[in-house]
Amino acid sequence: MGKHGQGHGHAHGHHRPGPADEHLARGPARVRCFALTISDTKTEADDTSGQAIRELLSAAGHELVGAAIVKDDAPAIEAALLGAIARGAQAVVASGGTGLTSRDSTFEVVTRLIDRPIPGFGELFRMLSWQEIQSAAMLSRATAGVVRGAVVFALPGSPHGVRLALEKLIVPELPHLFEQLAR
């Protein structure tokens, strides 16, 4: 399987067209995306997670309409998310602030804004994390859902977690997700 999800989960490269292919074909090949880093310490120079988001979405053919770094502060996170959506982002991929420390507020902000949750995202992300970090995966509060017509993904701040979520879940399903939302 290619690094960007070619093969769409079919083992050994054998591929029989099926219903999922029809959904993918109807979904937009290019989604307008915004990369949001939530951190009290990161700068553009050392924001490796934000860089990974931008690189992986661009490599998959999506349009990057903006990027920002905001402090782990609930009003700042909410303003950045809603601002990105207001400026036309169809998908916002946020990294950071999904842990359990007293400063981690991304989960609370995102879940409060979500109109339609996508619980399978967090479930699958933790399942994939389990395979690598075992029981520590339960500490992740990665989540996703539809906010004002856009899809928001809240990922951990680690570059590895960001890459895992994008390569295994987000990039392969963005077209299908938007095909579903358009119905």
**Per the domain annotation, does 132 fall within a domain?**
yes
- With a cut of 50, say whether residue 2 has pLDDT above it: no
**Per the domain annotation, does 23 fall within a domain?**
no
The residues with which 150 forms a beta bridge, in sequence order, are 147
**Tokens encoding 112:** 């409060």
C-alpha to C-alpha distance for 58 and 53, rounded to whole angstroms: 8
Q: What are phi and psi of 14, to 5 degrees?
A: -75, 135
What pLDDT is stored for residue 177 in this prediction? Answer: 92
**Per the domain annotation, does 2 fall within a domain?**
no
- With a cut of 80, say whether residue 9 has pLDDT above it: no
* pLDDT confidence bin for 142, thresholds 50/70/90: very high
**Per the domain annotation, does 1 fall within a domain?**
no
The total number of structural domains that make up the chain:
1
Please answer whether residues 93 and 153 qualify as being in contact, where contact means their C-beta atoms are separated by less than 8 angstroms: yes
Owner of token pair 């989604």: 31
* pLDDT confidence bin for 25, thresholds 50/70/90: low
How does pLDDT run across 74-109, given as a tens digit for each residue? 999 999 999 999 999 999 999 999 988 888 999 999
- With a cut of 60, say whether residue 17 has pLDDT above it: no
CATH of the domain at 121: 3.40.980.10
The residues with which 34 forms a beta bridge, in sequence order, are 66, 92
**Per the domain annotation, does 109 fall within a domain?**
yes
Q: Which domain holds residue 90?
A: 29-181
**Per the domain annotation, does 177 fall within a domain?**
yes
How does pLDDT run across 116-129, given as a tens digit for each residue? 999 999 999 999 99
pTM: 0.85
Q: 163-173 burial by CB neighbour count: b if 16+ within 10 A, else e?
A: bbbbbbbbbbb
What pLDDT is stored for residue 27 in this prediction? Answer: 62
**Per the domain annotation, does 9 fall within a domain?**
no
Half-sphere exposure in the Cβ direction for 65 (13 Å, CA): 17
**Tokens encoding 174:** 């963005």
Q: 27-57 burial by CB neighbour count: b if 16+ within 10 A, else e?
A: beeebbbbbbbbbeebeeeebbbbbbbbebb
User: Does residue 22 or residue 112 have the better pLDDT?
Assistant: 112
**Per the domain annotation, does 3 fall within a domain?**
no
